[in-house]
Structure 1
Protein backbone atom coordinates (compact mmCIF):
# COMPACT_ATOMS: atom_id res chain seq x y z
CA UNK A 1 0.00 0.00 0.00
CA UNK A 2 1.18 3.53 -0.80
CA UNK A 3 -0.25 6.93 -0.01
CA UNK A 4 -2.38 6.67 -3.16
CA UNK A 5 -2.74 2.93 -3.90
CA UNK A 6 -4.61 0.67 -1.50
CA UNK A 7 -4.71 -3.12 -1.73
CA UNK A 8 -6.79 -4.88 0.92
CA UNK A 9 -6.26 -8.59 0.52
CA UNK A 10 -8.92 -11.22 1.01
CA UNK A 11 -8.92 -14.96 0.49
CA UNK A 12 -12.17 -15.29 -1.51
CA UNK A 13 -12.03 -15.70 -5.33
CA UNK A 14 -13.14 -12.12 -5.91
CA UNK A 15 -11.29 -8.87 -6.64
CA UNK A 16 -13.14 -5.55 -6.53
CA UNK A 17 -11.34 -2.83 -8.48
CA UNK A 18 -12.25 0.81 -7.80
CA UNK A 19 -10.30 2.87 -10.36
CA UNK A 20 -12.26 6.13 -10.50
CA UNK A 21 -13.25 7.14 -6.96
CA UNK A 22 -10.01 9.04 -6.35
CA UNK A 23 -10.03 12.84 -6.00
CA UNK A 24 -6.33 13.60 -5.44
CA UNK A 25 -4.61 15.83 -8.01
CA UNK A 26 -1.12 16.21 -6.57
CA UNK A 27 1.30 18.86 -7.75
CA UNK A 28 2.62 19.27 -10.42
CA UNK A 29 -0.29 17.56 -12.19
CA UNK A 30 -2.61 20.48 -11.48
CA UNK A 31 -0.38 22.84 -13.46
CA UNK A 32 -2.31 24.26 -16.39
CA UNK A 33 -5.67 23.00 -15.21
CA UNK A 34 -8.48 25.50 -15.52
CA UNK A 35 -9.98 24.40 -12.21
CA UNK A 36 -9.33 21.57 -9.77
CA UNK A 37 -13.08 21.46 -9.08
CA UNK A 38 -13.73 20.98 -12.79
CA UNK A 39 -11.09 18.25 -12.92
CA UNK A 40 -12.94 16.38 -10.16
CA UNK A 41 -16.36 16.63 -11.81
CA UNK A 42 -16.30 13.15 -13.35
CA UNK A 43 -15.31 11.26 -10.20
CA UNK A 44 -17.13 7.99 -9.49
CA UNK A 45 -18.28 9.60 -6.29
CA UNK A 46 -17.99 7.50 -3.12
CA UNK A 47 -17.88 4.18 -4.95
CA UNK A 48 -15.20 3.09 -2.47
CA UNK A 49 -17.65 3.72 0.38
CA UNK A 50 -20.46 2.08 -1.52
CA UNK A 51 -18.53 -1.19 -1.72
CA UNK A 52 -16.94 -0.97 1.74
CA UNK A 53 -18.86 -4.12 2.71
CA UNK A 54 -16.81 -6.15 0.19
CA UNK A 55 -14.09 -6.79 2.77
CA UNK A 56 -16.66 -8.53 4.97
CA UNK A 57 -17.13 -10.98 2.08
CA UNK A 58 -13.36 -11.64 2.18
CA UNK A 59 -12.93 -10.01 -1.23
CA UNK A 60 -9.73 -8.27 -2.26
CA UNK A 61 -10.24 -4.54 -2.86
CA UNK A 62 -7.88 -2.43 -4.99
CA UNK A 63 -8.39 1.31 -5.28
CA UNK A 64 -6.52 4.49 -6.19
CA UNK A 65 -6.82 7.91 -4.57
CA UNK A 66 -5.57 9.62 -7.76
CA UNK A 67 -8.14 11.44 -9.85
CA UNK A 68 -8.93 10.01 -13.27
CA UNK A 69 -8.18 13.50 -14.61
CA UNK A 70 -4.50 12.94 -13.78
CA UNK A 71 -4.47 9.53 -15.46
CA UNK A 72 -7.28 7.10 -16.15
CA UNK A 73 -6.19 3.61 -15.13
CA UNK A 74 -9.19 2.16 -16.98
CA UNK A 75 -8.08 3.31 -20.45
CA UNK A 76 -5.97 1.56 -23.06
CA UNK A 77 -2.40 2.75 -22.38
CA UNK A 78 -1.73 2.86 -26.12
CA UNK A 79 -4.27 5.66 -26.39
CA UNK A 80 -6.61 3.62 -28.58
CA UNK A 81 -10.30 4.38 -28.03
CA UNK A 82 -12.35 1.75 -26.25
CA UNK A 83 -15.41 2.98 -28.13
CA UNK A 84 -14.35 3.90 -31.68
CA UNK A 85 -16.63 6.47 -33.24
CA UNK A 86 -18.16 7.49 -29.90
CA UNK A 87 -17.22 10.33 -27.58
CA UNK A 88 -15.04 9.26 -24.68
CA UNK A 89 -12.10 10.47 -22.59
CA UNK A 90 -8.50 9.36 -22.94
CA UNK A 91 -5.61 8.08 -20.86
CA UNK A 92 -4.84 11.58 -19.57
CA UNK A 93 -8.14 13.36 -20.20
CA UNK A 94 -8.15 16.87 -21.60
CA UNK A 95 -11.92 17.32 -21.42
CA UNK A 96 -14.75 16.47 -19.05
CA UNK A 97 -17.55 14.08 -20.03
CA UNK A 98 -19.48 17.16 -21.12
CA UNK A 99 -16.66 18.25 -23.43
CA UNK A 100 -15.35 21.10 -21.28
CA UNK A 101 -11.60 21.75 -21.57
CA UNK A 102 -9.71 20.74 -18.43
CA UNK A 103 -6.61 22.75 -19.35
CA UNK A 104 -5.77 26.25 -20.40
CA UNK A 105 -4.90 26.46 -24.09
CA UNK A 106 -1.52 24.95 -24.83
CA UNK A 107 -1.01 23.56 -21.31
CA UNK A 108 -2.30 20.02 -21.83
CA UNK A 109 0.07 17.22 -20.71
CA UNK A 110 2.64 16.40 -23.39
CA UNK A 111 4.01 12.95 -24.24
CA UNK A 112 6.69 13.15 -21.55
CA UNK A 113 4.15 14.11 -18.87
CA UNK A 114 1.83 11.30 -19.93
CA UNK A 115 4.68 8.78 -19.83
CA UNK A 116 5.64 9.95 -16.34
CA UNK A 117 2.07 9.67 -15.07
CA UNK A 118 1.79 6.22 -16.56
CA UNK A 119 4.98 5.05 -14.82
CA UNK A 120 3.97 6.62 -11.51
CA UNK A 121 0.31 5.61 -11.30
CA UNK A 122 -1.00 3.49 -14.16
CA UNK A 123 1.68 0.81 -14.12
CA UNK A 124 1.63 0.26 -10.33
CA UNK A 125 -2.18 -0.01 -10.31
CA UNK A 126 -2.08 -2.69 -12.96
CA UNK A 127 0.86 -4.44 -11.34
CA UNK A 128 -1.30 -4.70 -8.21
CA UNK A 129 -4.22 -6.19 -10.15
CA UNK A 130 -1.94 -8.69 -11.90
CA UNK A 131 -0.31 -9.68 -8.60
CA UNK A 132 -3.65 -10.26 -6.87
CA UNK A 133 -4.97 -12.27 -9.81
CA UNK A 134 -1.86 -14.46 -9.67
CA UNK A 135 -2.13 -14.86 -5.89
CA UNK A 136 -5.77 -15.86 -5.93
CA UNK A 137 -5.40 -18.12 -8.95
CA UNK A 138 -2.96 -20.23 -6.94
CA UNK A 139 -5.83 -21.15 -4.61
CA UNK A 140 -8.91 -20.76 -6.81
CA UNK A 141 -10.14 -21.52 -10.28
CA UNK A 142 -11.95 -19.54 -11.43
CA UNK A 143 -11.83 -16.06 -9.92
CA UNK A 144 -13.92 -12.96 -10.65
CA UNK A 145 -12.54 -9.46 -11.24
CA UNK A 146 -15.34 -6.95 -10.63
CA UNK A 147 -14.69 -3.39 -11.81
CA UNK A 148 -16.84 -0.89 -9.88
CA UNK A 149 -17.97 2.43 -11.40
CA UNK A 150 -20.67 5.10 -11.34
CA UNK A 151 -21.71 8.06 -13.48
CA UNK A 152 -24.46 10.66 -13.61
CA UNK A 153 -27.48 9.35 -15.45
CA UNK A 154 -27.63 11.96 -18.22
CA UNK A 155 -24.53 12.88 -20.24
CA UNK A 156 -25.72 13.89 -23.74
CA UNK A 157 -22.20 13.90 -25.16
CA UNK A 158 -21.72 10.24 -24.19
CA UNK A 159 -25.18 8.74 -24.60
CA UNK A 160 -28.76 9.62 -25.44
CA UNK A 161 -31.52 9.75 -22.86
CA UNK A 162 -31.31 8.45 -19.32
CA UNK A 163 -28.89 5.70 -18.39
CA UNK A 164 -30.35 2.54 -16.81
CA UNK A 165 -29.59 2.13 -13.12
CA UNK A 166 -27.41 -0.96 -13.59
CA UNK A 167 -25.07 -1.19 -16.59
CA UNK A 168 -23.24 -4.50 -16.79
CA UNK A 169 -20.29 -4.81 -19.16
CA UNK A 170 -18.57 -7.97 -20.38
CA UNK A 171 -16.97 -6.73 -23.62
CA UNK A 172 -19.85 -8.26 -25.56
CA UNK A 173 -19.46 -11.58 -23.77
CA UNK A 174 -15.71 -11.92 -24.24
CA UNK A 175 -14.47 -11.08 -20.72
CA UNK A 176 -16.42 -13.68 -18.72
CA UNK A 177 -18.63 -16.73 -18.92
CA UNK A 178 -22.19 -15.71 -19.89
CA UNK A 179 -23.42 -17.41 -16.73
CA UNK A 180 -21.68 -14.79 -14.61
CA UNK A 181 -23.35 -11.91 -16.45
CA UNK A 182 -26.72 -13.64 -16.11
CA UNK A 183 -26.19 -14.16 -12.37
CA UNK A 184 -25.14 -10.54 -11.82
CA UNK A 185 -28.09 -9.25 -13.84
CA UNK A 186 -30.47 -11.47 -11.87
CA UNK A 187 -29.31 -9.79 -8.66
CA UNK A 188 -30.15 -6.34 -10.05
CA UNK A 189 -33.67 -4.90 -10.23
CA UNK A 190 -34.82 -3.00 -13.30
CA UNK A 191 -33.80 -0.85 -15.10
CA UNK A 192 -30.67 -2.74 -16.14
CA UNK A 193 -28.77 -3.64 -19.28
CA UNK A 194 -25.92 -5.93 -20.30
CA UNK A 195 -23.42 -4.49 -22.79
CA UNK A 196 -25.35 -1.33 -23.48
CA UNK A 197 -23.47 1.96 -23.71
CA UNK A 198 -20.84 0.66 -21.29
CA UNK A 199 -19.33 -2.68 -22.28
CA UNK A 200 -16.36 -2.61 -19.93
CA UNK A 201 -13.19 -0.55 -19.91
CA UNK A 202 -9.54 -1.51 -20.22
CA UNK A 203 -9.53 -3.40 -16.92
CA UNK A 204 -12.42 -5.65 -17.94
CA UNK A 205 -11.14 -6.16 -21.47
CA UNK A 206 -7.47 -6.65 -20.58
CA UNK A 207 -7.82 -9.08 -17.69
CA UNK A 208 -10.96 -10.97 -18.64
CA UNK A 209 -9.70 -14.36 -19.82
CA UNK A 210 -12.43 -16.87 -19.02
CA UNK A 211 -10.50 -19.64 -20.75
CA UNK A 212 -7.75 -19.08 -18.15
CA UNK A 213 -10.11 -18.90 -15.19
CA UNK A 214 -10.25 -15.09 -14.88
CA UNK A 215 -13.76 -13.72 -15.38
CA UNK A 216 -13.95 -9.91 -15.53
CA UNK A 217 -17.12 -7.86 -15.36
CA UNK A 218 -17.83 -4.14 -15.05
CA UNK A 219 -20.70 -2.49 -13.19
CA UNK A 220 -21.50 1.11 -14.12
CA UNK A 221 -24.13 2.49 -11.75
CA UNK A 222 -26.22 5.58 -12.32
CA UNK A 223 -25.34 7.75 -9.31
CA UNK A 224 -29.01 8.55 -8.65
CA UNK A 225 -29.37 5.09 -7.12
CA UNK A 226 -27.31 6.03 -4.08
CA UNK A 227 -26.80 9.82 -4.09
CA UNK A 228 -28.24 13.13 -5.18
CA UNK A 229 -26.79 13.78 -8.64
CA UNK A 230 -26.93 17.53 -7.98
CA UNK A 231 -24.43 17.01 -5.14
CA UNK A 232 -22.91 13.57 -5.80
CA UNK A 233 -19.92 14.14 -3.51
CA UNK A 234 -22.17 14.14 -0.43
CA UNK A 235 -22.29 10.71 1.18
CA UNK A 236 -25.67 9.83 2.68
CA UNK A 237 -25.40 6.44 4.39
CA UNK A 238 -29.16 6.04 4.76
CA UNK A 239 -29.80 6.80 1.09
CA UNK A 240 -27.00 4.47 -0.01
CA UNK A 241 -28.10 1.54 2.18
CA UNK A 242 -30.66 0.03 -0.25
CA UNK A 243 -28.12 0.15 -3.08
CA UNK A 244 -25.52 -1.48 -0.86
CA UNK A 245 -27.96 -4.28 -0.09
CA UNK A 246 -28.43 -4.88 -3.81
CA UNK A 247 -24.71 -4.77 -4.48
CA UNK A 248 -24.06 -7.21 -1.67
CA UNK A 249 -26.31 -9.60 -3.59
CA UNK A 250 -24.36 -8.84 -6.77
CA UNK A 251 -21.01 -9.66 -5.18
CA UNK A 252 -22.45 -12.79 -3.58
CA UNK A 253 -23.59 -13.83 -7.06
CA UNK A 254 -20.01 -13.38 -8.25
CA UNK A 255 -18.73 -15.51 -5.38
CA UNK A 256 -21.35 -18.20 -5.95
CA UNK A 257 -20.35 -18.33 -9.60
CA UNK A 258 -16.66 -18.71 -8.80
CA UNK A 259 -17.20 -21.31 -6.10
CA UNK A 260 -19.71 -23.19 -8.21
CA UNK A 261 -17.23 -23.48 -11.07
CA UNK A 262 -14.31 -24.48 -8.86
Structure 2
Protein backbone atom coordinates (compact mmCIF):
# COMPACT_ATOMS: atom_id res chain seq x y z
CA UNK A 1 0.00 0.00 0.00
CA UNK A 2 1.34 3.38 -1.04
CA UNK A 3 0.70 5.88 1.79
CA UNK A 4 -0.23 8.67 -0.63
CA UNK A 5 -1.76 8.74 -4.11
CA UNK A 6 -1.23 11.74 -6.38
CA UNK A 7 -3.01 12.53 -9.62
CA UNK A 8 -1.45 15.49 -11.39
CA UNK A 9 -3.42 17.98 -13.42
CA UNK A 10 -2.52 21.24 -15.07
CA UNK A 11 -5.33 23.32 -13.56
CA UNK A 12 -5.00 25.73 -10.62
CA UNK A 13 -6.82 23.64 -8.00
CA UNK A 14 -5.40 20.93 -5.75
CA UNK A 15 -7.87 18.66 -3.97
CA UNK A 16 -6.70 17.46 -0.56
CA UNK A 17 -8.20 14.17 0.65
CA UNK A 18 -6.75 13.47 4.10
CA UNK A 19 -9.51 11.28 5.54
CA UNK A 20 -10.88 8.96 2.85
CA UNK A 21 -8.20 6.28 3.26
CA UNK A 22 -8.94 3.02 5.07
CA UNK A 23 -5.52 1.35 5.25
CA UNK A 24 -4.49 0.29 8.74
CA UNK A 25 -1.27 -1.71 9.21
CA UNK A 26 -1.78 -5.07 10.89
CA UNK A 27 0.07 -4.08 14.07
CA UNK A 28 -2.06 -0.97 14.42
CA UNK A 29 -5.27 -2.85 13.67
CA UNK A 30 -4.44 -5.35 16.40
CA UNK A 31 -4.27 -2.55 18.97
CA UNK A 32 -7.73 -1.17 18.12
CA UNK A 33 -10.82 -1.89 20.17
CA UNK A 34 -13.03 -4.31 18.29
CA UNK A 35 -15.74 -1.72 17.61
CA UNK A 36 -13.20 0.71 16.13
CA UNK A 37 -12.08 -1.78 13.49
CA UNK A 38 -15.18 -0.72 11.57
CA UNK A 39 -13.40 2.61 10.95
CA UNK A 40 -16.66 4.52 11.35
CA UNK A 41 -14.96 7.93 11.37
CA UNK A 42 -13.85 7.68 7.74
CA UNK A 43 -14.80 10.38 5.23
CA UNK A 44 -16.62 7.63 3.36
CA UNK A 45 -16.44 7.70 -0.47
CA UNK A 46 -15.39 11.35 -0.55
CA UNK A 47 -12.77 10.46 -3.18
CA UNK A 48 -15.47 8.84 -5.31
CA UNK A 49 -17.74 11.84 -4.89
CA UNK A 50 -15.10 14.26 -6.22
CA UNK A 51 -13.73 11.99 -8.92
CA UNK A 52 -14.07 13.43 -12.42
CA UNK A 53 -15.82 16.65 -11.40
CA UNK A 54 -13.63 18.75 -13.66
CA UNK A 55 -10.64 18.19 -15.97
CA UNK A 56 -7.02 18.97 -15.17
CA UNK A 57 -7.44 18.90 -11.42
CA UNK A 58 -4.73 17.66 -9.08
CA UNK A 59 -5.59 15.26 -6.26
CA UNK A 60 -3.53 14.29 -3.23
CA UNK A 61 -5.08 11.45 -1.24
CA UNK A 62 -3.97 9.89 2.04
CA UNK A 63 -4.59 6.14 1.76
CA UNK A 64 -4.05 5.51 5.47
CA UNK A 65 -6.85 5.85 8.00
CA UNK A 66 -7.02 8.75 10.43
CA UNK A 67 -6.73 6.29 13.35
CA UNK A 68 -3.20 5.50 12.17
CA UNK A 69 -2.40 9.20 12.24
CA UNK A 70 -4.54 12.17 11.27
CA UNK A 71 -3.14 13.98 8.25
CA UNK A 72 -5.29 17.01 9.12
CA UNK A 73 -3.77 17.64 12.53
CA UNK A 74 -0.71 19.63 13.59
CA UNK A 75 2.25 17.21 13.62
CA UNK A 76 3.44 18.79 16.88
CA UNK A 77 0.23 17.67 18.57
CA UNK A 78 -1.23 21.13 19.17
CA UNK A 79 -5.03 20.95 19.45
CA UNK A 80 -7.24 22.13 16.61
CA UNK A 81 -10.25 23.44 18.52
CA UNK A 82 -9.28 24.42 22.08
CA UNK A 83 -12.13 24.02 24.55
CA UNK A 84 -14.17 21.79 22.24
CA UNK A 85 -14.38 18.04 21.89
CA UNK A 86 -12.24 17.02 18.94
CA UNK A 87 -9.78 14.33 17.90
CA UNK A 88 -6.01 14.53 18.10
CA UNK A 89 -2.98 13.70 15.94
CA UNK A 90 -3.41 10.03 16.81
CA UNK A 91 -6.94 10.07 18.20
CA UNK A 92 -7.66 8.36 21.50
CA UNK A 93 -11.45 8.58 21.21
CA UNK A 94 -13.76 8.34 18.23
CA UNK A 95 -16.42 10.86 17.18
CA UNK A 96 -18.77 9.45 19.81
CA UNK A 97 -16.25 9.81 22.62
CA UNK A 98 -15.53 6.07 22.81
CA UNK A 99 -12.04 4.70 23.37
CA UNK A 100 -10.29 3.71 20.15
CA UNK A 101 -7.40 1.70 21.55
CA UNK A 102 -7.06 -1.54 23.47
CA UNK A 103 -3.37 -0.71 23.54
CA UNK A 104 -2.69 3.01 23.01
CA UNK A 105 0.35 3.87 20.86
CA UNK A 106 3.55 4.95 22.55
CA UNK A 107 5.27 8.25 21.80
CA UNK A 108 7.84 6.35 19.76
CA UNK A 109 5.11 4.69 17.70
CA UNK A 110 3.43 8.02 17.07
CA UNK A 111 6.76 9.48 15.91
CA UNK A 112 7.24 6.55 13.55
CA UNK A 113 3.76 7.04 12.09
CA UNK A 114 4.38 10.74 11.69
CA UNK A 115 7.42 10.02 9.54
CA UNK A 116 5.92 7.10 7.60
CA UNK A 117 2.51 8.61 6.86
CA UNK A 118 1.82 12.20 7.94
CA UNK A 119 5.09 13.64 6.59
CA UNK A 120 4.73 11.85 3.26
CA UNK A 121 1.22 13.17 2.72
CA UNK A 122 2.24 16.73 3.40
CA UNK A 123 5.41 16.49 1.34
CA UNK A 124 3.25 15.41 -1.60
CA UNK A 125 0.68 18.12 -0.94
CA UNK A 126 3.31 20.84 -0.66
CA UNK A 127 5.01 19.64 -3.84
CA UNK A 128 1.77 19.77 -5.83
CA UNK A 129 0.80 23.20 -4.53
CA UNK A 130 4.26 24.48 -5.48
CA UNK A 131 4.02 22.89 -8.93
CA UNK A 132 0.55 24.28 -9.58
CA UNK A 133 1.54 27.73 -8.35
CA UNK A 134 4.45 27.61 -10.76
CA UNK A 135 2.01 27.04 -13.60
CA UNK A 136 -0.53 29.70 -12.64
CA UNK A 137 1.13 32.19 -10.32
CA UNK A 138 -1.19 31.08 -7.52
CA UNK A 139 -2.84 27.87 -6.38
CA UNK A 140 -6.01 26.95 -4.51
CA UNK A 141 -6.11 24.07 -2.07
CA UNK A 142 -9.64 22.72 -1.77
CA UNK A 143 -9.67 20.44 1.25
CA UNK A 144 -12.37 17.79 0.92
CA UNK A 145 -14.11 16.37 3.98
CA UNK A 146 -17.34 14.77 5.12
CA UNK A 147 -18.84 13.77 8.44
CA UNK A 148 -22.07 12.47 9.93
CA UNK A 149 -24.67 15.19 10.29
CA UNK A 150 -25.50 14.23 13.88
CA UNK A 151 -22.66 13.70 16.36
CA UNK A 152 -23.64 14.97 19.84
CA UNK A 153 -20.08 14.48 21.15
CA UNK A 154 -18.75 17.02 18.64
CA UNK A 155 -21.61 19.46 18.07
CA UNK A 156 -25.22 20.17 19.01
CA UNK A 157 -28.09 19.56 16.63
CA UNK A 158 -27.80 18.68 12.96
CA UNK A 159 -24.87 19.89 10.90
CA UNK A 160 -25.64 21.98 7.79
CA UNK A 161 -25.05 20.26 4.46
CA UNK A 162 -22.24 22.57 3.32
CA UNK A 163 -19.73 23.67 5.97
CA UNK A 164 -17.22 26.10 4.49
CA UNK A 165 -14.06 26.83 6.47
CA UNK A 166 -11.55 29.63 5.85
CA UNK A 167 -10.39 30.13 9.45
CA UNK A 168 -12.46 33.31 9.68
CA UNK A 169 -11.26 34.58 6.30
CA UNK A 170 -7.53 34.14 6.94
CA UNK A 171 -6.73 31.27 4.56
CA UNK A 172 -7.95 32.59 1.20
CA UNK A 173 -8.81 35.72 -0.72
CA UNK A 174 -12.32 37.00 0.04
CA UNK A 175 -13.42 36.32 -3.54
CA UNK A 176 -12.87 32.58 -3.03
CA UNK A 177 -15.07 32.38 0.03
CA UNK A 178 -17.67 34.63 -1.58
CA UNK A 179 -17.86 32.48 -4.71
CA UNK A 180 -18.10 29.19 -2.83
CA UNK A 181 -20.64 30.53 -0.35
CA UNK A 182 -22.82 32.03 -3.06
CA UNK A 183 -23.00 28.76 -4.96
CA UNK A 184 -23.79 26.77 -1.82
CA UNK A 185 -26.46 29.23 -0.74
CA UNK A 186 -28.07 29.00 -4.16
CA UNK A 187 -28.15 25.21 -4.16
CA UNK A 188 -31.82 24.34 -3.71
CA UNK A 189 -32.58 21.98 -0.87
CA UNK A 190 -29.23 22.35 0.89
CA UNK A 191 -28.15 24.29 3.97
CA UNK A 192 -24.89 26.20 4.35
CA UNK A 193 -22.72 27.76 7.02
CA UNK A 194 -19.36 29.52 6.89
CA UNK A 195 -16.79 29.17 9.68
CA UNK A 196 -19.26 27.44 11.93
CA UNK A 197 -18.30 24.30 13.84
CA UNK A 198 -15.69 23.54 11.17
CA UNK A 199 -13.48 26.54 10.43
CA UNK A 200 -10.81 24.70 8.49
CA UNK A 201 -8.45 22.09 9.86
CA UNK A 202 -4.69 22.23 10.25
CA UNK A 203 -4.15 21.66 6.54
CA UNK A 204 -6.26 24.65 5.55
CA UNK A 205 -4.67 26.86 8.19
CA UNK A 206 -1.13 25.70 7.45
CA UNK A 207 -1.15 26.13 3.68
CA UNK A 208 -3.60 28.98 3.33
CA UNK A 209 -1.26 31.96 2.93
CA UNK A 210 -2.87 34.27 0.37
CA UNK A 211 -0.04 36.79 0.42
CA UNK A 212 2.27 34.02 -0.76
CA UNK A 213 -0.08 32.94 -3.53
CA UNK A 214 -1.47 29.81 -1.86
CA UNK A 215 -5.17 29.96 -0.99
CA UNK A 216 -6.96 27.27 1.00
CA UNK A 217 -10.60 26.54 1.70
CA UNK A 218 -12.21 23.54 3.40
CA UNK A 219 -15.58 22.05 2.59
CA UNK A 220 -17.02 19.67 5.18
CA UNK A 221 -20.05 17.93 3.73
CA UNK A 222 -22.74 16.28 5.79
CA UNK A 223 -22.61 12.64 4.76
CA UNK A 224 -26.39 12.63 4.54
CA UNK A 225 -25.95 14.53 1.26
CA UNK A 226 -24.53 11.52 -0.57
CA UNK A 227 -24.79 8.35 1.56
CA UNK A 228 -27.84 6.14 1.85
CA UNK A 229 -27.38 6.12 5.61
CA UNK A 230 -24.77 7.54 7.97
CA UNK A 231 -24.11 4.10 9.45
CA UNK A 232 -22.57 0.81 8.38
CA UNK A 233 -22.16 -0.19 5.62
CA UNK A 234 -21.98 3.50 4.61
CA UNK A 235 -23.39 2.91 1.14
CA UNK A 236 -22.83 5.47 -1.58
CA UNK A 237 -26.17 6.79 -2.81
CA UNK A 238 -25.95 7.41 -6.56
CA UNK A 239 -29.10 9.51 -6.73
CA UNK A 240 -28.02 11.80 -3.91
CA UNK A 241 -24.50 12.05 -5.28
CA UNK A 242 -25.72 12.84 -8.79
CA UNK A 243 -27.74 15.70 -7.34
CA UNK A 244 -24.80 17.00 -5.30
CA UNK A 245 -21.94 16.68 -7.76
CA UNK A 246 -23.01 19.46 -10.15
CA UNK A 247 -22.88 21.93 -7.27
CA UNK A 248 -19.36 20.79 -6.40
CA UNK A 249 -18.35 21.14 -10.05
CA UNK A 250 -19.79 24.65 -10.08
CA UNK A 251 -17.75 25.60 -7.03
CA UNK A 252 -14.49 24.20 -8.38
CA UNK A 253 -15.04 25.76 -11.79
CA UNK A 254 -15.76 29.16 -10.27
CA UNK A 255 -12.62 29.01 -8.13
CA UNK A 256 -10.49 27.96 -11.10
CA UNK A 257 -11.81 30.92 -13.08
CA UNK A 258 -10.87 33.25 -10.23
CA UNK A 259 -7.24 32.16 -10.19
CA UNK A 260 -5.87 34.73 -12.69
CA UNK A 261 -7.21 37.50 -10.43
CA UNK A 262 -5.52 36.15 -7.30
CA UNK A 263 -1.90 36.88 -8.03
CA UNK A 264 -0.54 39.13 -5.34
CA UNK A 265 -3.84 39.28 -3.43
CA UNK A 266 -4.34 38.59 0.26
Measured in 2, the distance between the counterparts of 1:253 and 1:91 equals 33
Superposed counterparts of 1:1-262, under 5 Å: 3-35=2-34, 37-38=36-37, 40-54=39-53, 56-104=54-102, 107-188=103-184, 189=187, 190-227=190-227, 228-231=229-232, 233-262=234-263
1:137-194: CA deviations, max 9, x gaps? Answer: 1121221000000000011111111100000000111100111011001111341011
| Two-structure CA RMSD over aligned residues (Å) | 1.4
Q: Does the aligned pair in 1 maintain the 2:85–2:153 contact within 8 Å?
A: yes
Q: Which moved more, 1:186-195 or 1:78-87?
A: 186-195
1:103-147: CA deviations, max 9, x gaps? Answer: 12xx10010000000000000000001111111111212210000
Shift of 1:39: 5.4
Q: Does the aligned pair in 2 maintain the 1:166–1:220 contact within 8 Å?
A: yes
Q: Which moved more, 1:185-194 or 1:115-124?
A: 185-194
Measured in 1, the distance between the counterparts of 2:232 and 2:243 equals 19
Q: Does the aligned pair in 2 maintain the 1:33–1:39 contact within 8 Å?
A: no
Q: Which moved more, 1:138-147 or 1:12-21?
A: 138-147
- Find the residue that maps to 1:193 and give its secondary structure: strand
Q: Does the aligned pair in 2 maintain the 1:17–1:147 contact within 8 Å?
A: yes
Measured in 2, the distance between the counterparts of 1:220 and 1:99 equals 20
Measured in 1, the distance between the counterparts of 2:136 and 2:39 equals 38
1:208-234: CA deviations, max 9, x gaps? Answer: 000011100000000001112234621
Question: Given the two structures, how large is their TM-score scaled by the length of structure 2?
Answer: 0.93
Shift of 1:36: 6.4
1:79-108: CA deviations, max 9, x gaps? Answer: 11110000000001111011010112xx10
Q: Does the aligned pair in 1 maintain the 2:164–2:181 contact within 8 Å?
A: yes
Measured in 2, the distance between the counterparts of 1:41 and 1:80 equals 24
Q: Does the aligned pair in 2 maintain the 1:175–1:216 contact within 8 Å?
A: yes
> Unpaired segments of 5 or more residues in structure 1?
none
Change (3 A) 1:241 1:232: farther
Change (3 A) 1:232 1:162: farther
Shift of 1:31: 2.7
Shift of 1:3: 2.2
Measured in 1, the distance between the counterparts of 2:239 and 2:105 equals 40
Question: Given the two structures, how large is their TM-score scaled by the length of structure 1?
Answer: 0.94
Q: Does the aligned pair in 1 maintain the 2:160–2:222 contact within 8 Å?
A: yes
Q: Does the aligned pair in 2 maintain the 1:176–1:216 contact within 8 Å?
A: yes
> Unpaired segments of 5 or more residues in structure 2?
none
Count of residue correspondences: 258
Measured in 1, the distance between the counterparts of 2:245 and 2:36 equals 27
